[in-house]
Structure 1
Amino acid sequence: MKRSVMRDRAVNAAIRSVLALAMAVPYRTRVPMMGWIVSRIVAPLAGWSRRVEANLAHVRPDLDAAEVRRLKRAVPDNAGRTLIEIYSGEPFRARARNTPLAGPGLDALRAARAEGRPVIMVTGHLGNYDVPRIALAQEGIALAALYREMRNPYFNAHYAEAMRGNAEPIFPANRRGLLGFVNHLRQGGAVGILIDVFAGNGAPVTFFSKTAPTATSAAEWALKYDALVVPVYGIRQPNGLDFEILIDAPVPLSDPLTLTQALNDSLERVVRTHMEQWFWIHRRWKPELRAAQD
């Protein structure tokens, strides 16, 4: 279906207005304020609250009603905070730069970079996924990011520019972008990939014990270029403004299906500990969830 130019422009204008309102206040107020706006206003209107509830019912039916209510507010709150952080420029970058790197994969990451070995760092929509890019740049690691372009081209233009201002290089997931991204890896660079989105032609691996088709691209590139594969997460701290960066243990190179499942398992372990920080708004389990609702 052809997208409406007028609708895209109107939606972008509304988004820019909310962003401008948030940017007009100090950073320490701006971030929680944007979380409140998205959780209390945007999420109910956009149907996000219902989607969070449906996803949780599908994979975590053991949760009690109080916890589901909490997550329906907390999940879009984290999403709102993440969005305005990405747009906040230096105040956000200063916090991210000061975030220490830790975890069982840190030594392996440093060794691979010292050797000039390609590295694939895999993450998900948890906490703030831009924090590791900024912090790793402090170590001299230019983590090339691959991102899906927004359907709304007007919003995508300034969103991509905001991400580029935080750390470079970034590549859109189109033909030209993929060529640059893979070339960066092939030449011994480090790349970052978000793995937790539905892929219609992806492998039938599981996430929270339910089938969640996932692209095997990261695994295939790792095998082709003998890259170190390391999960990484920018986890929001209790004050809502700071982070910790967890670099999980490297995933052994095996075959695309086994490697992809191991990456999903790593993300799941972290999500279970920080349920409110993962983007439960995604349609991660379609068509299985759709079939369960029919």
Structure 2
Amino acid sequence: MYKFVYEFMAWAGKAAPLPWLDVAGRVLGTAMWYGLPGRRSLARANMIRVLGTSFQTATMLGRQSFSHNGRSFAEIFTGRRADWRWFAEHVHVAQPEMVARMQASRRPVVATTGHFGAWELLAPVMGMLFPERSKQVVIRHGRDEAMFRLLQRLRHRTGIEVLGHRKAAPAVVRHLHRGGVTAFLTDHNTTQKDAAFLPFLGRMAAVNMGPALLALRAKALVWPVYLHRQGRGYIFDADPPLDTATLEGDREDRCRQVAELYTAAMERRIMTHPEQWFWMHNRWKTQPRGEQKE
């Protein structure tokens, strides 16, 4: 039954005109706000604690956040049809000189981002910015196998390999050693065995060390990148890349330096545009052993 529903959604999304997808995403976000009271309460509580807002402000930001999240889901279908004309009409590159330097470099790149802004459109945007480089996107392999397979298929574009995070490391290392670009979402909660605990938005959070470790193994550039919404368009924004080949210390210390970089970069974007982050996620669920869960 679920597979049939998923396939119907995929068919409808692929058939809908692009302007309709944005409307559908907003409607979906509103439906989630009213239909998921547990997630609504979690998002509001997260914002009150992290941002220090009032209940009323957290409610306003929460509704905006759910709307952005609904639009992000709809943008899976936009991404399949995004081309250079769409790029020219909708995307502004905030640091063209930095992007030009990255395009000219032959070094492997680990691009880090998060569930922020129009994250589903980052893969096609990176595909157009780096047309001659091989590209990978590593996504979380959820418990719903049918949904994961559908999303993997929908996210696929010619020239972009989509991998589930389980057992992805060997393929990522080979790809990076060939000078490829591999993108990771780094702002979700993770397990004790995969985590280092770092401050994130004023609270200790389990930060995934996988991207840092793989970047070090390939001596890659680590490049925090984001696509946030502005009006009806998007701004491609990035921080200066970190060259992992220049880091000092033992492996654990160097991994921590890389993880601190992409964690702090994500934090800055959230504080600048809090309404565009995925507040309904229980980001601080995993805590250091022996400490009380909140």
What is the RMSD of the two structures over their aligned residues, measured on CA atoms? 2.7
CA distance in structure 2 between the aligned counterparts of 1:276 and 1:265, rounded to whole angstroms: 18
Question: TM-score, normalised on structure 1?
Answer: 0.83
CA contact (8 A) 2:80 2:157 kept: no
Distance in 1 separating the partners of 2:78 and 2:122? 16
Residue equivalent to 1:58: 49
Q: What is the SS of the residue equivalent to 2:235? A: strand
TM-score by length of 2: 0.83
Q: Which SS does the other structure have where 1:116 is aligned?
A: coil
Contiguous gaps of at least 5 residues in structure 2: 248-253
Whether the aligned pair in 1 keeps the contact of 2:65 and 2:279 (CA below 8 Å) is: yes
What displacement does 1:86 show?
Answer: 0.5
Q: Which residue, 201, 208, 220 being the options, matches 1:208?
A: 201
Residue type of the partner of 2:211? A
State the SS of the aligned residue for 1:136. helix
CA contact (8 A) 1:121 1:192 kept: yes
Give 1:14 deviation, angstroms. 4.3
How do residues 136-147 of structure 1 correspond to structure 2 at under 5 angstroms?
Answer: 136-139=126-129, 140=131, 141-147=133-139
Percent identity of equivalent pairs: 22
The residue that corresponds to 2:150 in the other structure is 158
- CA shift in 2, pair 1:107/1:166, >3 Å: same
SS of the equivalent of 1:203 reads: strand
In structure 2, distance between residues paired with 1:279 and 1:182: 29
Local SS of the residue matching 1:204 = strand
- Structure 1 Cα separation of the partners of residues 225 and 265 of structure 2: 9
**Which of 212, 226, 234 lines up with 2:219 in the alignment?**
226
Give 1:41's aligned residue.
Answer: 31
Which residue is equivalent to 2:251?
none
Structure having the higher strand fraction is 2
Partner of 2:173: 182
1:281 aligns with 2:280: yes
| Alignment counterpart, residue 194 of structure 1, candidates 172, 175, 185 | 185
Inter-partner Cα distance in structure 2 for 1:101 and 1:86: 21
Structure 1 pair 102–143 and aligned structure 2 pair: CA distance change class (3 A): farther
Aligned CA distance change for structure 1 residues 43 and 21 (closer, same or farther; 3 Å): farther
Structure 1 unaligned blocks of 5 or more:
1-8
- CA drift of 1:182 comes to 2.0
The 8 Å contact of residues 44 and 58 in structure 2, kept in 1 or not, is answered as yes
DSSP-derived class of the 2:61 partner: helix
2:227 match: secondary structure: strand
Shift of 1:144: 1.1
Cα distance in structure 1, aligned partners of 2:67 and 2:237: 22
**Pairwise CA distance, 1:77:** 1.0
Instruction: Label 1:75 to 1:203 Cα distance change in 2 as closer, same or farther (>3 A).
Output: same
Matched letter for residue 156 of structure 2: R
Q: Which residue of 2 aligns with 1:84?
A: 74
**73-82 or 51-60, which deviates more:** 51-60
Helix, strand or coil at the partner of 1:149: coil
